[in-house]
Amino acid sequence: MYKKHLLLCTAVCALCFSYFNLTYISNASGGIFISR
């Protein structure tokens, strides 16, 4: 149970990290991909 929870947390962290990188790169390029 604990390992499954840890794996889920890692997956969520990776997803958030890639989402943040995608937003940051697109914003740095000049085209605002996601407006927040």
Separation between Cα atoms, residue 9 and residue 16, nearest integer Å: 11
pTM of the predicted model as reported, rounded to 2 decimal places? 0.53
Kindly state whether residue 7 falls inside one of the protein's structural domains: yes
The pLDDT of residue 32 is: 55
What residues make up the domain containing 3? 1-31
Let me know: does 33 contact 22? Beta carbons within 8 Å. Answer: yes
Q: How many domains does the chain have?
A: 1
Tens of pLDDT along the chain (36 residues)?
788 889 999 999 899 898 888 888 777 766 555 555
pLDDT value for 31: 57
Asked if residue 23 is part of any domain, the answer here is yes
